Structure 1
Amino acid sequence: MLRVPHAARAMAGALLGRLSYGTVPLSLLLAVREASGSYAVAGTAMALFGLAGVALSPARAAVIDRRGPARPLTALALCYALLLGLLTAAAVGGGVPDAALVALAAAAGAGTPPLGPVMRALWSRLAPDPELLQRAYSLDSVAEELLYVLGPLLVGLLVAFASPAAGLALSAVLVLVGTLALTSSHAVRSTSGGSPAGGSAADDGAAGGSAAGGSAAEGGSAGAASAKATPVAAAPSGAAPGRRSAAARLLGGPRRWRSAPVVLLTGALGVGLGALDLLVVAFAEEAGAPGAVAWVLAALSAGSAVGGLVYGAVRWRLPLRTRLALAAVGLGLVLAPAGLAPGPFALALVAALAGVSVAPALTTAYLLADATAPPERRTRAGAWVNTAFNAGAAAGTAAAGLVLGSLPVAACFALAALPLLLAGLGSLAPRRAVRTAGATAPAPARQEPREAREPQQAREVRAAQKAPEQARTARTAS
C-alpha cells in the first residue's frame, strides 16, 4: 500500500497526528487530577472532552467536505494545539479554577482535527481499486489500533520523568506536526479545491445488490476490477434542499447517505467493546489479579491487529453489509461466554479471539460508508462511523458500570454481547428474506431515464431516425 503514489507521506503525517489521540486521554486525566486534586473534576473534564469531540465530529468533517482538507485541518490543529498548551500551562502553574480546567478540556475536544476520516477519504482517492481500498482500510485500522496501545505507554514513560502535563504538551506537538505534514502532502494539495474523496462513489451498494456500474465494493468480489459508478446528485430526486435546515445540510447525517444500518452496527460494536473494558477490570479484581487487566486488553489489541491484516489480504466475495453483520455476530458469540473463563489467562485468550473480529468490523464499516456515500460526503460518512463507535463505547461503559453492582460478572459479559447479536442478526435477516422470496436487486433509485441523460441534439437525431419507421408502422396498422 505504501508504494501507491503519494500515500506514504500522507499516511505517515496522519498517523503521527493521530498518535496524539492515544496520548491525550491519560495525559488529560492525570494532569487535571494533579491540578485540581479531585478525581471528580478529572472525570468531568475527560467526559466533556470526549463528548465535545464525538458530538461535533460530523460538523467538522462537513466543513472539510465543503472546503477541502488543507485549510480547515490546519486551523483545527492550531486551535487544538493552542488549547492543549493552555491546559498544560494551567496544570503546571496551579491556582486555576476547576471550572476553567473543565472548560478548556471541552473546548479542546470540540476542536479535535478529524485526521482519521480525512485519511480514509484520501485512501478512496489514492486507491480507487476495491481490492487496494480494502487493504488500505485494513492497514489503517491496524495502525490505529497500535497507536492506542502505544500512546498510553509513551505517557507512562514520560510521567516517570516529568509532570503529567508534559503529556499534554507532547500531544499538542504531535497533532500539530502530523497535521502539517499531512496537509502539505501532494495527496491533500491536489484536493485543495474540494472534498478529499475525489472520484465517485458506488451508488447504493448496500441496498441488496451490486452498485450501478458493476462496482465490486459491495455486491461482488473485493478484488474484481470494476468501473466506478456515475456520481450521484447531492440531494435525492424531488427533494427541495431549501426546506432543510442549514445544520441538516451541513451535517449530512446517515439519512443523507442512506447508511443508518452502518451506524447502528458500528454503535453496537462500540457498546460491546466499551463494556468489555470495564468488565475486564471487574473480572481481574474478582480473580485477585488486577495487574492482568493490561495483558487482557493487550491480547484484544493483538488479536485485532492479526484479524485486520488477514482481512485485508483476503479477496472477499460476501457483500460488505453481510461481512459487517457477521463480524458483529462473531464478536458477540465470543464475548457472551467470556465471563465464564476460569482465570485471567484464559480470559486473555478469549479476548485475543474476540479481537480478531474488531479491526475487520471497523474496516468493513468504513468501506461500507465509503461505498454508500456520495463523493461530497465521504469525510462526513467516515466521521459518522467514528461518532457511532465512540458514542456506543461511552454508553457501553456507563451501562456496565450500572449493572456490575447488581449482577454477576459473567451475566454482565452476556449482556454486553446482546447488542452485537441483535444488531448483527437483525441486519442479516432482511437479506435472507429477500433471497427466499426470489426478489431481484432493485435498480438504483436515482437512475435517470436514458432520454433525460442524453443531450438535446442527440435526442433530436434519434427521433429523426425513427420517424420513417414510425410512419411505416402507422400505415401498416391503418
Structure 2
Amino acid sequence: MSASYARVLRLPHARRTFAAALLGRLSYGVVPLSVMLAVTRATGSYAVAGTVMALFGATVVFLAPARAYLIDRHGPRRALVPLLLSHVLLLAVLTAALRHPGTPPYVLGALTALAGACAPPLGPTMRTVWSRLADGDQGLLQRAYSLDGVAEELLFVSGPLLVGVLVAVATPEAGIVVGAALMATGTAVFVRSPAVRNAPPAGRVVRRATGERRVLPRIGRPVAAVAGVGLGLGVLDLLVVAFTERHGYGGASVAWVLAALSAGSAVGGMLNGALNWRIPPRTRVTLTTAGLGLTLVAAGFAPGLIGLALTVTVAGLFVSPALTTGYLIADASVAPEARTRAGAWVNTAVNAGSTGGTALAGALAGRLPVGVCFAVTGAAVLLAGLVTAKGTAAVAETVPSGV
C-alpha cells in the first residue's frame, strides 16, 4: 500500500478531529428514532409520528447543500457554531413540548422541521477536512474517505442500539437529550481542532465563482450514481421485510439480513480503501453501482433466508465503495471553495434516493411478487450505473486512476 489507514490517522490533528466528528455524527443515529418514539408516545398516532419524521428528514436532507454553502462561505467555525446552538435549542424546546400534554401536532412538526434545518453538517465538513489534510495525495484521500464511510456505517448501526438502551431505562425524550448532547460535545471539540480552526473561509469567491449552476453540472454523474445506490438501499429494507413475511420467517430475521448488508458494506469499504486501483474513479463508480444492481436482481432468486442473507452481504460489498468513489469524484470536480457543498450534494442524493426507494417499495410490494420487486429495483440501480458510463464532468478526470 502506498498509503495505509494508519498513515491516515497519523496526519496532523486527524485523530482528534475525526473522533470529535464521529461523536457528533452519532447524534444522526440517535435523534431521529428518539423523536419518532417520543412523538408516537405523546400523540398516540403513528400518522402524526410519520408526518413529523418526514418533515425532519426533508429539512435534514434537502437543506444540506444550503448548510454546506454556509460552511464554504464563512468557514467551519463561524457557520457550525450558530447552526449547533439553533439545533440544540430547538431540540430542547421540542423535548419540552413533547412532555407537555396536548401540544398540537403542527407545533411538533414545525419544531422538528426547524431542528432538522439547523443540523450541523459534520459529515461533509469532515470530508473537506480530509481533503485538506491529504494535500493532493489521492491514495491517502481514498483511504481517508473509505475509513470515514465505514465509521459512519457503524454509527448508524450503533445509534439505534443506544436508543434501545435509553428507552429501556428512561423515556424516549431522554434519547433526544442524549443526541443533542452528543452533537454539542462533538461539534464543540471539532471546531476547536487546529485542522478546523485554521481553515480559511472562502468568502465571496464561493458566490462569484462556484455558484449552483457551476457546481451541479460538474458532479451530476456521481450524484446520479449514488442516488441509484440510495434507491436500492431504500427498497431493500422493505423488501427484506416482505420476503421474510411471505416465507414465514420471524421478525428477528429481518435484523440479521440487514446486519449482513452493513457487514458487507463495511468489508467492501475497507477493501476499497486498501487497494491500489488502476481503474479511473468514474469507471469504478459505474462498475460498483452496476454490481449492486445485478446483485439485487439475483436476490430475487434467493431460495430462502440464508440465500437472501448471502446475496445481501455481496450487495453490501458494493455500497460503501460506490459512495466513497462518488465523494472522491465530487471532491475533484469542483474548486476547493465548493468542496463541502459538493460532498453535501452527494450525501443528499443518497438520502433522497433512499426516501424514493422506500416509497417505490411500498408501491411495488403490495402488487408484485417479491422476486419481481427485486428485479425491478436492481434494473433501476443498474440503469443509474449505466448513466454514469456515458461520461462525467471533464474535471473529474483529474482524479488519478492509480495510486
Q: Any residues of structure 2 matched to 1:259-298 within 5 Å, and which? A: 259-289=219-249, 290-298=251-259
Report what 2:74 is aligned to.
Answer: 67
Alpha carbons 1:284, 1:291 under 8 Å: kept: no
Q: Any residues of structure 2 matched to 1:216-235 within 5 Å, and which? A: none
Cα distance, 1:337 vs structure 2: 2.1
One-letter code aligned to 1:2: L
Cα distance, 1:397 vs structure 2: 0.5
Does residue 77 of the first structure (1) align with residue 84 of the second (2)?
yes
Q: Given the superposition, is the C-alpha separation of residues 192 and 70 from structure 1 closer, same or farther in structure 2, using an over 3 Å criterion? A: farther
Report what 2:12 is aligned to.
Answer: 5
Report what 1:138 is aligned to.
Answer: 146
- Deviation string 1:305-332 (CA, Å, 9 cap, x unpaired) is 0111111110101111100000001111
Of 182-191 and 286-295, deviating more is 286-295
Q: Any residues of structure 2 matched to 1:254-403 within 5 Å, and which? A: 254-255=216-217, 258-289=218-249, 290-403=251-364
Report what 2:54 is aligned to.
Answer: 47
Of 90-99 and 387-396, deviating more is 90-99
Which protein has the larger Cα radius of gyration, Structure 1 or Structure 2?
1
Report what 1:188 is aligned to.
Answer: 196
Cα distance, 1:64 vs structure 2: 0.8
Q: In structure 1, how many angstroms separate the alpha carbons of the residues matched to 2:395 and 2:304?
A: 53
Q: Any residues of structure 2 matched to 1:157-196 within 5 Å, and which? A: 157-194=165-202
Q: In structure 2, how many angstroms separate the alpha carbons of the residues matched to 1:153 and 1:343?
A: 27
Report what 1:425 is aligned to.
Answer: 386
Q: In structure 2, how many angstroms separate the alpha carbons of the residues matched to 1:22 and 1:308?
A: 20
Cα distance, 1:420 vs structure 2: 1.5
Q: In structure 2, how many angstroms separate the alpha carbons of the residues matched to 1:293 and 1:336?
A: 19
SS at structure 2 position matched to 1:336: helix
- Deviation string 1:52-74 (CA, Å, 9 cap, x unpaired) is 11111111101110110012111
Q: In structure 1, how many angstroms separate the alpha carbons of the residues matched to 2:128 and 2:158?
A: 24
- Deviation string 1:388-423 (CA, Å, 9 cap, x unpaired) is 111111001001101111101111111111222112
Alpha carbons 2:333, 2:396 under 8 Å: kept: no
SS at structure 2 position matched to 1:356: helix
Q: In structure 1, how many angstroms separate the alpha carbons of the residues matched to 2:318 and 2:276?
A: 17
One-letter code aligned to 2:68: A
Equivalent of 1:30 in 37, 55, 62: 37
Alpha carbons 1:341, 1:347 under 8 Å: kept: yes
- Deviation string 1:17-71 (CA, Å, 9 cap, x unpaired) is 0000011221111011001110000000110100011111111101110110012
Q: In structure 1, how many angstroms separate the alpha carbons of the residues matched to 2:18 and 2:272?
A: 20
One-letter code aligned to 1:421: L
Q: In structure 2, how many angstroms separate the alpha carbons of the residues matched to 1:275 and 1:187?
A: 38
- Deviation string 1:122-166 (CA, Å, 9 cap, x unpaired) is 000011211110000000000000000000000011101110111
One-letter code aligned to 2:236: L
Report what 1:458 is aligned to.
Answer: none
Q: In structure 2, how many angstroms separate the alpha carbons of the residues matched to 1:407 and 1:299?
A: 25
- Deviation string 1:80-100 (CA, Å, 9 cap, x unpaired) is 111111122222232211111
Structure 1 stretches lacking a partner, 5+ long: 196-232, 236-240, 243-247, 432-440, 446-478
Q: In structure 1, how many angstroms separate the alpha carbons of the residues matched to 2:73 and 2:301?
A: 50
One-letter code aligned to 1:395: G
Alpha carbons 1:58, 1:251 under 8 Å: kept: no
Q: In structure 1, how many angstroms separate the alpha carbons of the residues matched to 2:313 and 2:29?
A: 21
Equivalent of 2:156 in 128, 148, 160: 148
Cα distance, 1:249 vs structure 2: 3.4
One-letter code aligned to 1:153: L
Question: After TM superposition, which residue ranges in structure 1, 4 or more long, deviate above 3 angstroms?
Answer: 192-195, 248-253, 441-445
Q: In structure 2, how many angstroms separate the alpha carbons of the residues matched to 1:2 and 1:30?
A: 37
SS at structure 2 position matched to 1:357: helix
Q: Given the superposition, is the C-alpha separation of residues 158 and 443 from structure 1 closer, same or farther in structure 2, using an over 3 Å criterion? A: closer
Q: In structure 2, how many angstroms separate the alpha carbons of the residues matched to 1:295 and 1:253?
A: 40
Q: In structure 2, how many angstroms separate the alpha carbons of the residues matched to 1:344 and 1:269?
A: 23
Give the fraction of aligned pairs with identical amino acids, expressed as a percent. 57
- Deviation string 1:147-198 (CA, Å, 9 cap, x unpaired) is 0000000001110111011111111001111001100001011114448xxx
Q: Any residues of structure 2 matched to 1:9-20 within 5 Å, and which? A: 9-20=16-27
Alpha carbons 2:222, 2:388 under 8 Å: kept: no
Q: Given the superposition, is the C-alpha separation of residues 94 and 135 from structure 1 closer, same or farther in structure 2, using an over 3 Å criterion? A: same
Q: Any residues of structure 2 matched to 1:96-115 within 5 Å, and which? A: 96-115=103-122
Structure 2 stretches lacking a partner, 5+ long: 1-7, 398-403
Q: How high is the TM-score relative to the length of structure 2?
A: 0.92
Q: In structure 2, how many angstroms separate the alpha carbons of the residues matched to 1:272 and 1:58?
A: 23
One-letter code aligned to 1:146: L
Q: Given the superposition, is the C-alpha separation of residues 184 and 443 from structure 1 closer, same or farther in structure 2, using an over 3 Å criterion? A: closer
Higher relative contact order (CA 8 A, sep 6+): 2
Alpha carbons 2:224, 2:388 under 8 Å: kept: no
